[in-house]
Structure 1
Amino acid sequence: MKLRTTLFGRTYQFHSINEVMAKANEEKSGDIMAGIAAESAEERVAAKVVLSNLTLEDLRNNPAIPYEEDEVTRIIQDNVNEKIYNEIKNWTVQELREKILATETTGNEIRRISRGLTSEMVAAVTKLMSNLDLILGAKKITVTAHCNTTIGLEGTLSTRLQPNHPTDDDDGIVASILEGLSYGAGDAVIGLNPVDDTVESVIRMFHTLSEVKNKYKIPTQTSVLAHVTTQMEAIKQGAPADLIFQSIAGSEKGNTAFGISGDLIAEARELALKEGTASGPNVMYFETGQGAELSSNAHHGVDQLTLEARCYGFAKKFEPYLVNTVVGFIGPEYLYDAKQVIRAGLEDHFMGKLTGISMGVDVCYTNHMKADQDDMENLGVLLTQAGVNFLITVPHADDVMLNYQSLGYHEAQSLRELGNLRPIKEFEEWLMERGILDEKGRLTKKAGDASIFLG
C-alpha cells in the first residue's frame, strides 16, 4: 500500500489512509476547522493521486474507525456481500470510478457492485469525481422503496411536505399542509418537526397528520420527527405512525450523542412493522448532514464526507423508505458557502444512491451562510438531473420554526415540469382528481388555493 507520490518535483508522504481521504476531499470549512484538510491545491491533488491507486481491499482492511471500537464500522463491514467483494477487491479506486461512469455500465450493474462496497469505498470514489461525474453516476442508479406508496421509480420526483409551526399549533400545521397539497407537494411524506418533544404532544401531532391524510384520502406517508424514543412511546400508546424517524451519525460516538444505537433503531423498526399504520416493508426515515459528527466531537479525525458515507452504510441495514441529507442546515462552520453546499449536496446524493438507499436532499442554507435562494434553486436543478428521489419543501421556502431556508412548494413542481417528471402515481392521480394537476402534469389555475379543500 503506497501512501506517497511525487508531483512537480515535490514528494508528498501521507501517514494513513484517513489522512489521504481527508486531504483528497474537496475544500470544506469543517475539515479545515478540524485541522485535517489539505493545506494547498497541490497537496489535494497529490492525495487524490494516492487515493486513486489504492485498492478496494486496502480500504476494506483500513476502515475509518476500527471495527473493534465502533458499532457503525461493524454494521457496515458485516453487511458486505463477500462474494461480490471478492470479485472486485483488487480494483483500484480509479477503476471503480471508471466502471461507474462507463457508458456501457448499467444501473443494475452498479447496484450489484454496491453490495460489495464499504462506505469508505463509496466515499473514496466520490472524492475522485467532478460535480458532473456525480450527477451522471447517480442518474444511472434507481433505488425504490415502499411504505404506503413506492418512491424512486424512473420518471418521478417526490417531495416531503414540511408544515412546521413555531408553536405546534394544529390550525397552523393543517393550513400549511393544505397549501402544500394545493401545489402538489407531499407524495414522499408529510413530515413535521415538532417544537415540543413530549410524548403527549407527539401523540397529538401524529393524530393531526393522520386525520388530514384520512379525511382527504391522500395516498402518502406521515411522520413526526421527534426523537425515536418519543415516537416509540407514542406508538405504544396508540399513535398512528407510518414512518419512524431519527437523525443518525457516521460513528458510534455520534449516534450516542443523538441518544441512539443500532439495537435501538432495530427495535424501533420492529415496532413500526408490528404496530405502525403503513403497509411497509420500508418504515424508517433517517436524516443526516455533513459535519454532524464534528459538531459533537465524534469525528475521530475523519473527514466529514467519509463520515457522511458511513451514515448511509448504517442506514442501509434498516431498509429505510427515506434518507435525506439536510445539506446546508448545520451552517458555515461545516459548509462555508454556496459552492461547498452544492458540492456536498451532489456528493451526498451520489453516495446514498451508490450505497443502495432511497436518497433525497433538503436543499437548504442558514441565513449566516454565504448563499442565497438562487444557489439553492441551482442545486435543485442539478439534483433533479441526477435523479434525486425526493426534495424537502416548506411554505415559501422559509421554515419559520427551524429558521432556515429550503425549497418552496411551488419550486418543486417547477423542477418536475423542467425535468418532465411526475409525482408518485397514486398521488398524481389524487392531484388530478382534485383538479390541481392537468393530464400533462402541470399545475392548474386551482394550484396554490388551499380553500379548495374547505368546500
Structure 2
Amino acid sequence: MSYTEAIGTRTYRFDDLKTLLAKASPLRSGDQLAGTAAASEEERVAARMALAQVPLRTFLNEALIPYESDEVTRLVIDDHSPEAFAEISHLTVGDFRNWLLSSGTDADALTRISAGLTPEMVAAVSKLMRNQDLIAAARKRPVITRFRTTVGLSGHMSVRLQPNHPTDDVKGIAASMLDGLMYGCGDAMIGINPATDSLAAITTLLLMVDDFRQRYQVPTQSCVLTHVTNTIAAIGKDAPVDLVFQSIAGTEKANAGFGISLALLQEAYEAALSLNRGTVGNNVMYFETGQGSALSANAHHGVDQQTCEVRAYAVARKFNPFLVNTVVGFIGPEYLYDGKQITRAGLEDHFCGKLLGVPMGCDICYTNHAEADQDDMDNLLTLLGVAGINFIMGVPGADDVMLNYQSTSFHDALYVRDVLGLRRAPEFEEWLESMRVADALGVLLNGAIRQPLLEGAREWMGIA
C-alpha cells in the first residue's frame, strides 16, 4: 500500500509503510548511510503528516519484514494481544500521540495496552513526537523489575557499576568495584565486560564478585558480559551466575550475526531461572541494544535504524529481563553523528522501550571520533533522569579503559540523583546505611565514617 501527502503544489509518494516510517524519522547519519532517509526537511514533514493518518491496525496487516522469513516478525505477530489492543484499536498514529500525552492517560492505562502494542506502532508514534513529548510520556510508564534489588520504582534511578579492566586483572576490577560502591553505585548490578571470552576467566570474575557480595552481604546482582553460550556453559559448571547477558537486535538476520536465536535465548532464560538465585524477584536476563546494529550487519532489510531498534525490545520483552540497556552512542558517528542525534536516539529508545513494558536503561555514551562531548552527555543524562530512566552506567572517571569510549561516572550519578531527588533501589539504600556509606536519606557520609568497610575490603583484596 502506498501513501501520499501534498505540501503546497508538490505531492510526495511513499511506496509502502517501511518507506514512510524511514522518511518520517528525524535526521540521523545511519539512515543517510543506508539511503533510507528523507531527501529534505519538506519530505520529512510530508512523511510525518501522512504517518499521522495511518490507523494503528495497519501495522498488524503490513509487515515491514515478511512473517515467513523473520522470526522477530513472527514473535511480534504471534504474541500480540487483541484484548490489550482493543482500547486503542480505533486510533490513528496521530491520535495515539494525543492519547499518550493526555492528562487522562496514566500508568495503569499504559500498562493495560502494553501487550497490544507492536514495536512498529511504537516507533511510528515516536517519530511524531518532540523531545519533551518523549520525556513526558515515558515518565508516566514505570517498569519495575526485581532480583536482589528492586529497580524502576518511580522517583528512583539505579546504576550499573562497570569496573572493566583491559587485562581482566582481578585486583584492578575489584578496586574499581569498591570505588563505585563507596560512591553508592551498583544497585542495578555489577557488570563486567571481560577482555577475554575464556570460560576460566569468566568463572574467575564471577567467583570474585560473588565472594565479595556474600562476604559483605551486598544486595546486588552480578553479570559478566560474555556470549550467552559461554554463560550457559558456566551455569553447567555451577558458576555463580546471577544475570545472563546478550546483545540483541531487531531482525533474525542481525541476531544470527550475534550467534543467537530466540530458541537459544529461551534455553539461557530457563537455565538461569533454574538457579533460583534471586531474593526479591527472578528477572534474570540482561540485554544490550543500540541503534545501527542491524544496519552495521547489513541485516536491516531497508528498515530505518530506529524502528529496527524498537523491534529488539520485542525480543527483550519475551524474556522478562531485569535490565535492558541501549548503548546509545557506542556504535559510532556513522549511525549517530553528533550530540544532537545521540540525545534524540536516547530519548526515543527510552520512550519506546518503556511503552512496550521493557525496563530501559541507557549507557549515555559516545566514541572519541563522534561530534559529541561530555556536555552533550550531561544534557542527555539530565533529560533521561527527568524521563524516569531505570538505570545508567557508573564507569570510573566516565572513561572506560577497556572498551575505550566515554560514558557516565560515579560522580554523574551523584549529580543527577541530587538535582532530581532520585533514590537508589530500597534494598541497596538500606545496605549503604548499615555499612555507614550513606545516611538514611541516601546522602554519602564522609571518608572517616566509612573507614571500617573500606579497610575490610582492602584486606579482602590483599592490599596493605
Q: TM-score, normalised by structure 1?
A: 0.98
Indicate if the aligned counterparts of 1:166 and 1:401 stay in contact, CA closer than 8 A.
yes
Is 1:158 matched up with 2:162?
A: no
Residue number in structure 1 paired with 2:462: none
- SS of residue matched to 2:212: helix
Report the Cα distance in structure 2 between the residues aligned to 1:444 and 1:87, rounded to whole angstroms.
Answer: 50
Secondary structure of 1:56's counterpart equals coil
Deviations 1:136-186 (A, max 9, x none): 000000110111221111121100000000000000000000000010100
Work out whether 1:90 is the aligned partner of 2:94: no
User: 1: distance between equivalents of 2:325 and 2:197?
Assistant: 21
Q: 1: distance between equivalents of 2:44 and 2:181?
A: 46
> Does the aligned pair in 2 maintain the 1:52–1:128 contact within 8 Å?
yes
In structure 2, what is the Cα distance between the partners aligned to 1:145 and 1:440? 22
Partner of 1:292: 293
Say whether the 8 Å CA contact 1:243–1:278 is kept in structure 2.
Answer: no
Q: Name the counterpart of 2:255.
A: 255
Measure how far apart 1:101 and its partner are: 0.5
Q: Is the 8 A contact 2:332 2:366 kept in 1?
A: yes
CA distance in 1, matches of 2:203, 2:436: 32
Please state whether the residue corresponding to 1:287 is helix, strand or coil.
strand
Q: Secondary structure at the match of 1:254?
A: helix
Deviation at 1:435, TM superposition (A): 2.3
Secondary structure of the residue aligned to 2:57 is helix
Q: Which residue of 2 aligns with 1:361?
A: 362
Q: CA deviation at 1:301?
A: 0.5
5 Å-filtered alignment, 1:257-406, equals 257-275=257-275, 277-279=277-279, 280-406=281-407
Inter-partner Cα distance in structure 2 for 1:45 and 1:107: 31
Q: Distance in 2 between matches of 1:441 and 1:11?
A: 58
2:216 alignment partner AA: Y
Alignment of 1:39-188 (within 5 A): 39-188=39-188
Query: Counterpart in 2 of 1:454?
Result: 458
1:415 is aligned to 2:416? yes
CA distance in structure 2 between the partners assigned to 1:136 and 1:107 by the alignment? 12
1:167-246 map, 5 Å:
167-246=167-246
Greater Cα offset, 32-41 or 201-210: 201-210
String of CA shifts for 1:214-256, please: whole Å, max 9, x gaps. Answer: 1211001100000000011011101101100000000000000
Shift of 1:448: 9.6
SS in structure 2 of the partner of residue 4 of structure 1: strand
Task: Quote the Cα distance in structure 2 between the aligned partners of 1:318 and 1:192.
Answer: 21
The DSSP-based 3-state class of the residue aligned with 1:454 is helix
Structure 2: which amino acid aligns with 1:303? D
Q: Check the 8 A contact 1:2/1:50 in 2, yes or no.
A: no
Answer whether contact 2:243 2:284 (CA < 8 A) is retained: yes
- Supply the distance in 1 between the matched residues of 2:94 and 2:7 (Cα, whole angstroms): 18
> Which residue of the partner structure matches residue 9 of structure 1?
9
- How far apart in 2 are the matches of 1:216 and 1:301? 51
Runs (5+) with no aligned partner, structure 1 = none
* 2:25 aligned residue: 25
CA–CA distance in structure 1, aligned partners of residues 144 and 344 of structure 2: 24
TM-score (norm. length: structure 2) = 0.96
Task: Name the CA distance, whole Å, in 1 between partners of 2:28 and 2:8.
Answer: 25
* Structure 2 stretches lacking a partner, 5+ long: 460-464
How far did 1:52 drift?
0.5
CA contact (8 A) 2:87 2:113 kept: no
Structure 2 distance, partners of 1:44, 1:271, is: 46
Note the C-alpha offset of 1:276. Answer: 5.5
CA offset at residue 2 of structure 1?
6.0
Q: Secondary structure at the match of 1:31?
A: helix
